[in-house]
Amino acid sequence: MSTVTKSTGPAAVPLRFATPIGGVAGTSFKPEHLPAILAAGPRRGFFEVHAENYMGDGGPPHRALEAIRRDHSLSLHGVCMSIGGPRPLDKAHLARFRGLVARYQPALVSEHLAWSTHETSFFNDLLPLPYTEATLACVCDHIDQVQEAIRRPLLLENPSTYVAFRESSMRETEFIRAIAERTGCGLLLDVNNVFVSAANHGFSALDYLADFPLSRVQEIHLAGHAEQADDEGDLLLIDSHDGPVADAVWKLYEIVIQRRGAVPTLIEWDSRIPDWPVLQAEAAAAQVILDRHRSAAMAGERHAA
Amino acid sequence: MRPEPGLSFATSFAQALLDPARETPEIVTGPNGKAAAKRYAVYRNNVTVSLIESLAAVYPAVQRITGAEFFRAMARFHVRSHPPTSPLLFEYGREFPEFIEAYEHAQTMPWLADVARIERAWLDAYHAGDAAPLSPARLSAIAPARLADAVFIPHPAMRIVRSPYSAVTIFAANRGSTPAARIDASRPEDALITRPEFDVAVRHLPAGGAVFAAGLASGQPLGEAAATALDASPDFDIASNIAGLIEAGAFTSLAAGDA
């Protein structure tokens, strides 16, 4: 980089590294909860927002996010970068994403192993991809570009899927591990997605977690799912984010925390959004698990010393 | 552009997403050879329903007027023929008013497209850049001899929608939850949409007001814009119109040749 680059002030460029926020539980930020959140004052935890909702020039969305950011750590969760698609990344979208990282200095920045745009159409869904050497190279190239733009590692989220691809030649865990090793990105482990995909594809969620590079996980997502049926009338789980976290997902989560230690954990709730106290109670339940394992880890350290 | 080898999956997968007549792509499967039709249909459903809901979020008054069932059927056609081209869904649906205008089953509501245009402008104003509105004192500080040359800079949120129908009244009556009274839809109404701070406001412009405001927004000096407005509407009143526009937050600054 040239030495004549003009200094543009601390907020103009993203931090090279995120500020660690430790093992705290957070929630999705929904604007309808803003009055209740502000009335309650600063609280332990963090808020996660979908980046695309804050890509307008101004107005109430930015005012709300500024109010939240004043007292809380933020997680910026991109939904539409289409990292998993074969098309080159949308440069304008990448610039907007970078701009949000620079403006709000989030503690966590994440995106999905999925695609949503093809040719000129945006499909507004997290679409699946085959796991092959060709797609691996493409995804890694896209992540390199994102990390170059935001000047720090991205956390990549494992998907929930309903179909598999005949051409896939790698397991999902193998694919994700290779991405993390090649790009240096961190991982966002969505435990509900693991549970949903395991049910939908008939594999063991525990086997998946045993094969998942847990040491790279820097954020966890928990959410509710819905039940449907597949072509044979068997159970098909839908990653609906419209209800409380299922008991079985809580159990998996505790296993993950036991192995990985306390990492920031988010309760995602995106439709049929409940009143703030309900969402807050879900986060409190995650915090209890996080605290239990943090104190266990600290006790372990004292014994070892 | 031809995809690179091994990367054609997205083309195959995407083709059937918005086209119910197409078969499930052969590249996908369920586990252990299970069928994938219902599984793939989850994606089809997610895409179509979420985009219909995006249109409903942009056009709540249109949905309230037509009812949810009518709206969703109309929106489904639009989603399939005009999927979004930007990942920013608050930008979606710019072609929807024209689509409504041509939609066979909406012909009995000729004012519906203009209500949609006001809703689209409302959301644009909501997300527009922040800027302090022009203070009324700034205008009164200008010497009367120079007033005709004053040029106004429009606020980023300012929009004008003109309608040969009572679109502003219909819009206003259907954005809340109170029951709408019977409205005479035949009076032409022009809307001024502004957002001086953080609340979007929709006002009904007086006679000649839309021509005047559009002239000023396009950079016409005050005198010229007023003359054009007077040509369009003989009972145009410059004093109340300029005061109304400034009070609404339509401008951020003005230059009077003295600055």
pLDDT in tens, A278-288: 999 999 999 99
- Is residue B258's pLDDT more than 70? no
CA–CA separation, B87 and A90 (whole Å): 10
Q: How far is CA A15 from CA A47, A103, A146, in A?
A: 19, 10, 14
Average pLDDT over residues A15-35: 86
Average pLDDT over residues B31-53: 96
- List, as ranges, residues 28-57 from B with C-beta within 8 Å of A: 28-32, 34-40, 42-43, 46-47, 50-51, 54
- A1 pLDDT band, cuts 50/70/90, is very low
The pLDDT tens digits of the residues spanning A111-142 come to 999 999 999 999 999 999 999 999 999 999 99
pLDDT at residue A21 in the model: 85
At A84, list the tokens: 């998993």
> Are the C-beta atoms of residues A61 and A53 closer than 8 Å to each other?
yes
Which residue among B6, B34, B37 sits closest to A134, beta carbon to beta carbon?
B6
- A22 pLDDT band, cuts 50/70/90, is confident
CA–CA separation, A182 and B40 (whole Å): 31
Contact A125 B50 (CB under 8 A): yes
Which residue among B46, B84, B126 sits closest to A59, beta carbon to beta carbon?
B126
Which residue among B10, B37, B128 sits closest to A85, beta carbon to beta carbon?
B10
Q: Closest approach of chain B CAs to the CA of A36, in angstroms?
A: 19
Q: Closest approach of chain A CAs to the CA of B39, in angstroms?
A: 5
User: Got the DSSP string for A122-138?
Assistant: EEEEEE----SHHHHHH
- Is residue A8's pLDDT more than 90? no
pLDDT at residue A2 in the model: 37
- List, as ranges, residues 138-197 from B with C-beta within 8 Å of A: 156-157, 195
Contact B27 A87 (CB under 8 A): no
CB pairs under 8 A between A and B: 159
**What spatial distance separates the first Cα and last Cα of chain B, rounded to whole Å?**
53
Which residue among A167, A201, A231 sits closest to B38, beta carbon to beta carbon?
A231
- A16 pLDDT band, cuts 50/70/90, is low
**Partners of residue B205 on adjacent β-strands:** B190
- Is residue B96's pLDDT more than 90? yes
Q: How far is CA A64 from CA A21, A67, A75, B131, B246, in A?
A: 21, 5, 15, 17, 26
Q: Which residues of B touch A55 (CB under 8 A)?
A: 88
- Is residue A174's pLDDT more than 70? yes
Closest CA to A15 of A64, A61, A76: A76
Average pLDDT over residues A104-111: 97
Count of other CB atoms within 10 angstroms of residue B72: 18
Of residues B144 and B100, the one with the higher pLDDT is: B100
B132 interface with A at CB cutoff 8 Å: no
Average pLDDT, chain B: 94
The pLDDT tens digits of the residues spanning A148-172 come to 999 999 999 999 999 999 999 999 9
Average pLDDT over residues B9-18: 96
Q: How far is CA A97 from CA A92, A139, A184, in A?
A: 9, 18, 19
pLDDT at residue A43 in the model: 86
> Which stretch of DSSP H or E encloses residue B189?
strand B189-194
- A18 pLDDT band, cuts 50/70/90, is low
The pLDDT tens digits of the residues spanning B108-137 come to 999 999 999 999 999 999 999 999 999 999
The pLDDT tens digits of the residues spanning B47-87 come to 999 999 999 999 999 999 999 999 999 999 999 999 999 99
Q: Which residues of B touch A234 (CB under 8 A)?
A: 34
pTM of the model: 0.93
CA–CA separation, B253 and B131 (whole Å): 10
pLDDT at residue B80 in the model: 96
Q: Percent of chain B, pLDDT > 90?
A: 88
- Is residue A72's pLDDT more than 90? yes
Contact A115 B87 (CB under 8 A): no
Q: Closest approach of chain B CAs to the CA of A119, in angstroms?
A: 8
Establish whether this prediction's ipTM goes over 0.85. Answer: yes
pLDDT at residue B34 in the model: 93
- A17 pLDDT band, cuts 50/70/90, is low
The pLDDT tens digits of the residues spanning A217-248 come to 999 999 999 999 999 999 999 999 999 999 99
Which residue among B3, B27, B43 sits closest to A167, beta carbon to beta carbon?
B27
Which residue among A79, A82, A124 sits closest to B51, beta carbon to beta carbon?
A124
Altogether, the residues listed in chain A come to a count of 305
Top residue of A82, A97, A125 to mutate, by most chain B CBs within 10 Å, is A125
- Is residue A193's pLDDT more than 50? yes
> Are the C-beta atoms of residues B51 and A124 closer than 8 Å to each other?
yes
- Is residue A12's pLDDT more than 90? no
- Is residue A7's pLDDT more than 80? no
Tell me which chain A residue has its CA closest to the CA of residue B86: A122
Top residue of A208, A230, A239 to mutate, by most chain B CBs within 10 Å, is A230
Contact A231 B37 (CB under 8 A): yes
Q: Which residues of B touch A159 (CB under 8 A)?
A: none
pLDDT at residue B256 in the model: 82
- Is residue A29's pLDDT more than 50? yes
Top residue of B15, B17, B39 to mutate, by most chain A CBs within 10 Å, is B39
Strand ranges in A98-225 using DSSP code E only, listed in sequence order: 108-112, 115-118, 121-127, 155-157, 164-165, 186-190, 217-223
> Are the C-beta atoms of residues B19 and A145 closer than 8 Å to each other?
no
- Which residue matches tokens 């020039």? A57
The residue type at B140 = S
pLDDT at residue A296 in the model: 67
Q: Which residues of A touch B9 (CB under 8 A)?
A: 86, 129-130, 135, 165, 167
